[in-house]
Structure 1
Amino acid sequence: MFMILFVLDEPSRLDEVLEGWSEIGIQGITIIESTGFYRRQIKRSKLHLTFLVEPPSSILEEGNITLFTAVEDQALVERCLQKTEQIVGDLEKPHSGVFMSWPLSSAKGLHKHSEEGKKTP
């Protein structure tokens, strides 16, 4: 099994990414609103400068969306990366996102079973 973590720079693309991942068979995606150190530093600098001439409420910066999920194999990691770049563009370009994956040494609770022994989503 592998863990995938993707930081989406444009939150407006979230539904597209989720739909694309679902199309290739990825389920059980956790979504977290997030921000990075760089973006926070920029926001703090703007807040300091803007506060001198405008009310602080004029600063409305979006954060990022961080997605993570566990997948069965490296092939699905590669398909996920391809689908992600198909949607958001080349991840080596600015303002696209960051995609990472790594092997999991153990995972439990990913495939729940009902009392009757059937898998539940």
Structure 2
Amino acid sequence: MMQLLVVVTNRIEKVETLFKELLDIGIRGATVIDTQGMARVLHDDLDKIPLFGSLKMLINDQYPFNKTIFVVLEDSQVQPAIRAVKKVLEDLSKPNAGILFTVPVNYVEGLFLRSPDVDSKSKTF
């Protein structure tokens, strides 16, 4: 089995360090894109929405975008990758640290797979 690890953080200064940590444990091929959360998109309208008005104060205007990192991992790589994320981003329960989650991957194409008995271009799980 394989998993897609997704990490979202607005601590953009930590992304390069995270990539180095992933490389150190043999994980390559991560993709990073700029993203924006719902609160950021609604920033100007938050005062008009009950409950969300107080969120406006929490939004850090210094970082208008998040970085979302995607990496397809073999099951054996998931826990080491999560440890690397936590090492770099530290306590994810703190505000603005980020989130991470995994999603099962049923099919991969265009990814080099390490197993010698597997077609290196595609695999269905």
Q: Indicate yes or no: 2:92 matched with 1:91.
A: yes
Distance in 2 (CA, whole Å) between partners of 1:43 and 1:99 is: 27
**Greater per-residue strand proportion:** 2
After TM superposition, the structure 1 = structure 2 runs for residues 6-25 of structure 1, keeping only pairs within 5 Å, are 6-25=7-26
How many residues end up aligned between the 2 structures?
A: 100
Q: Indicate yes or no: 2:64 matched with 1:62.
A: yes
**Greater per-residue helix proportion:** 1
Normalised TM-score (structure 2): 0.71
CA separation of 1:76 and 1:38: change in aligned 2, threshold 3 A: same
Deviant stretches of 4+, over 3 Å: 43-46
Please state how far the C-alpha of 1:6 moved relative to its aligned partner: 0.6
Structure 2: which amino acid aligns with 1:28? G
Distance in 1 (CA, whole Å) between partners of 2:94 and 2:34 is: 22
State percent identity of aligned pairs.
Answer: 24
Larger radius of gyration: 1
Q: Where does the alignment leave 5 or more consecutive residues of structure 2 unmatched? A: 48-60, 114-119, 121-125
CA separation of 1:67 and 1:32: change in aligned 2, threshold 3 A: same
Q: Is the 8 A contact 1:2 1:70 kept in 2?
A: yes
Q: Where does the alignment leave 5 or more consecutive residues of structure 1 unmatched? A: 47-58, 113-118
CA separation of 1:96 and 1:27: change in aligned 2, threshold 3 A: same
CA separation of 1:43 and 1:86: change in aligned 2, threshold 3 A: farther
